[in-house]
Chain A
Amino acid sequence: MNEKRKPITEADLHAYADNLLDPKRRQEVEQYLEQHSEAAEQVRAYQEINTGLHQLFDHVLEEPIPSRLKQKSKTSHSSKPLQIAAMLATLAIGTAIGWLGRGEWNIGQQPIAQMVDHAFTAHVVYTPEVKHPVEVGANEEKHLVNWLTKRLDAPVKAPQLNTLGYELLGGRLLAAEGKPAAQFMYQNGLGNRLTLFIRKNPNGQRDTAFRFANNDSVRGFYWIDGELGYALIGETERTTIAKAAHLVYEQLAQ
């Protein structure tokens, strides 16, 4: 090791639990936690407390705003479309947060749960691959996309995440519940990987908001948009995964 590391302090443990560390430091703390079970327990408790606070209080975000609090804003002229957009967004938040508060991973027996299950499994299985992370590389992107579109029998696209520092490595065909599914893999300069799992909309379900799921250090957002269901999975900060999911959504909507 030619690189000198700053010792891990209690402040790092808090920042780790609060997702406030940069990826490099985060990794250092992770390594530390693997070797120090008491510190790992400490962090786990902090994270559970954070989750618990959301479970206790996020429902307030969904409540209608009491009219006495709105009086002032009524007197001014604000733009209608934006107000409506804000209302819709608040509703959507309700849905999203309802899910966050619900305990993430515990999403029962619905078809979408199976989709998320497959997406997590595929992420965990293929991202550690050094030599063969993908079946078809990004250098053959066009072929890859045509192939997957044909096999899934739905218009598959490979979104770009370059603005977040993640480049497309390539993709592969998967089997999920006896049907073809697709996985695209992305990697940033630090070697962190994200995967985008795509399969046909399970049972023609309606579009959904972004929903969050996590399983230890693996976390992701999933949603249904038209005839396809998606899950964007990674092991980095939730905010990064959220941004990536948002980028994917925007590009696919075009």
Chain B
Amino acid sequence: MRGVYLYERLLQIQTMKANDKGTTMADFSQLITQHIPRLRRYAKALFSDPALAEDLVQDCLERAWSKQHLWNGSGDIRAWLFSIMHNLHANEARKFNRRPALIPMEAQNDQPITGNQESTLALNELEAALHNLPEKQREVLLLVGLEQMSYEEAADVLNVPTGTVMSRLSRARENLRSTLYGAHKQSNIRRIK
């Protein structure tokens, strides 16, 4: 079993196949299906309420399905799906936005802090701090830090300039850093505006 890399490769092969012959229904369906786990991970990280997260993923998939003709068949389908999700979420901000952050403590407490041996980061604190971030900062942080998109890809998904991605990312991380690591001295490096 080759783990993540087999999976990534499979996606590549399927994308290539789709590009070769034009996308058939079956290809399209498969391409989408394989991204569902990632869409769910992102949505669940974005919202503390799991039901809202599932709703968003479902809306996103339905939209993708109905807009199949808008996908040109050669682009990066992951970016396309994430941008659909982003637009849905932005348009329905009122529905998704105004819920208090619910942190399922019992789900988090059993996850020990491991990671780097000397890491002082507590996961439950990270999750709480994440949900206290302004949503625009949270989106960028998750696309980059969790989904591992490049800054350009994240900019495409959010339909903003790369500079905006950088400044939101910077603010998100500095926010988390001061919440999670306490007061710290700012290094005197040239700042992102």
Q: Which A residues are closer than 8 A to B by beta carbons?
A: 7-11, 13-15, 18, 20, 36, 38-39, 41-42, 45-58, 60-63, 65-66, 68-70, 72-73, 76-79, 82-83, 85-86, 88-93, 95-97, 102-106, 207-211, 242, 245-246, 249
Known: A9-B190, A58-B41. A102 touches B2 (CB 8 A): no
Main secondary structure, interface of B, reads: helix
Which size bracket describes the interface of B in this complex?
35 or more
Q: Say whether, besides A36-B187, A39-B187, A106-B117, A60 and B44 are in contact (CB < 8 Å).
A: yes
* 3 closest A-B pairs by CB: A103-B114, A96-B3, A38-B187
Q: Which residues of B contact A79 (CB under 8 A)?
A: 26, 30
- The 6 listed contacts between A and B (C-beta, < 8 Å) are A48-B121, A50-B145, A63-B40, A103-B113, A207-B1, A210-B4
Complex CA–CA separation, A41 to B119 (angstroms): 12
Q: Which residues of A contact B29 (CB under 8 A)?
A: 72-73, 76, 78
Whether B26 lies near A65 (C-beta < 8 A) is: no
Q: Given A51-B119, A79-B30, A242-B4, 14 more contacts at CB 8 Å?
A: A9-B192, A10-B190, A20-B150, A39-B187, A45-B176, A50-B146, A55-B111, A57-B44, A65-B36, A69-B36, A73-B32, A96-B3, A245-B5, A246-B2
Q: Which residues of A contact B108 (CB under 8 A)?
A: 56
Question: Are A20 and B192 in touch, CB under 8 angstroms?
Answer: no
Question: How many pairs of A and B residues are in contact by the CB < 8 Å rule?
Answer: 204
* Cβ-defined contact, B187 with A53, below 8 A: no
CA distance A11 to B151 in the complex (A): 10
Chain B, 156-180, contact with A by CB distance < 8 Å: what is the 0/1 string? 0000000000100110010011001
